[in-house]
Amino acid sequence: MPETGSADTAAVTLRDVRFTWPRASGPVLDIASFSVPRGERVFLCGPSGSGKSTLLGVIGGVLQPGQGEVRVLGTDIGRLSPAARDHFRADQVGLVFQQFNLLPYLGVVDNVLLATRFSARRAAAVGHDAAAAAHACLGALGLEDARLLQAPVTDLSVGQQQRVAVARALLGAPGLVIADEPTSALDADARSAFMDLLFRECARTGATLLFVSHDRALAQGFDRVVELPELNRAAVPA
Partner 1 sequence: MKALLGIALRSLLNRRLTVGLTIVGLTVSVALLLGVEQARKSAREGFAQTISGTDLIVGARSGPVQLLLYSVFHIGNATNQVSWESYREIANSDIVAWTVPIALGDSHRGFRVMGTSDALFEHYRYARTRELAFARGEAFEGVFDAVLGADVAARLGYDTGREIVLSHGVASTSFLDHADKPFTVTGVLERTGTPLDRSVLVSLEGIEAIHVDWQQGRAPAPGERISADAALAMDLQPTAITAFLVGLKSRVATFRLQRAINDYPDEPLTAILPGVALSQLWSVIGTVERVLLAISACVVLAGLIGMVTTLLTSLSERRREMAILRAVGARPWHIFMLFMLEATAIGTAAAVLGSALVFGGFWLGADVIGRQTGIHLQIVPPGATEAAIVGLVIAASALAGAIPAWRAYRTSLADGLAIRL
Report the alpha-carbon angle 21-174-180, nearest 5: 45
The minimum distance between CB 153 and partner 1, in angstroms, equals 11
- Residue 103 binding partner 1, by CB under 8 A: yes
- Pairwise CA distance, residues 221 & 22, whole Å: 38
CB burial of residue 155 (10 Å; 0-12, 13-18, 19+): exposed
117 CB contacts (<8 Å, ≥6 apart)? 123
130 belongs to the binding site for partner 1 (CB under 8 A): no
Q: Give the Cα separation of 221 and 76 in Å (integer).
A: 30
Bridge pairing between strands 10-19 and 176-180:
unpaired
Helix, strand, coil % over all residues of the chain, rounded to 5:
40, 25, 35
From candidates 38, 62, 76, 234, binder to partner 1 by CB under 8 A: 62
- The verdict on 30 binding partner 1 (CB under 8 A) reads no
Q: Which is nearer to partner 1, 100 or 199 (CB)?
A: 100
| Binding-site string for partner 1 from residue 32 to residue 51, where x marks contact by CB under 8 A and - marks none | --------------------
Q: Is the CB of 94 or the CB of 159 nearer to partner 1?
A: 94
- Cβ closer to partner 1: 32 or 131? 131
CB of 205 to partner 1, least distance (A): 17
Nearer to partner 1, 96 or 143 (CB): 96
d(CA 169, CA 19): 26
| 227 touches partner 1 (CB under 8 A) | no
Closest listed residue to residue 210, CA positions, set 20, 45, 29: 45
114 interacts with partner 1 by CB under 8 A: yes
- Does 115 bind partner 1 (CB under 8 A)? Our answer is yes
x-or-dash string of contact with partner 1, 165-184, rule CB under 8 A: ---x----------------
Written as one string, the DSSP assignment of 139-188 is HHTT---HHHHHSBGGGS-HHHHHHHHHHHHHTT--SEEEEESTTTTS-H
CB nearer to partner 1: give 1 or 103: 103
Residue 9 CB, nearest approach to partner 1 (Å): 25
45 or 58: CB nearest partner 1:
58
Contact 142, 83 (CB under 8 A): no
Residues that bind partner 1 (CB under 8 A): 53, 56-57, 60, 62-63, 82-83, 86-87, 89-91, 95, 97-98, 100-106, 110, 114-115, 117-119, 168
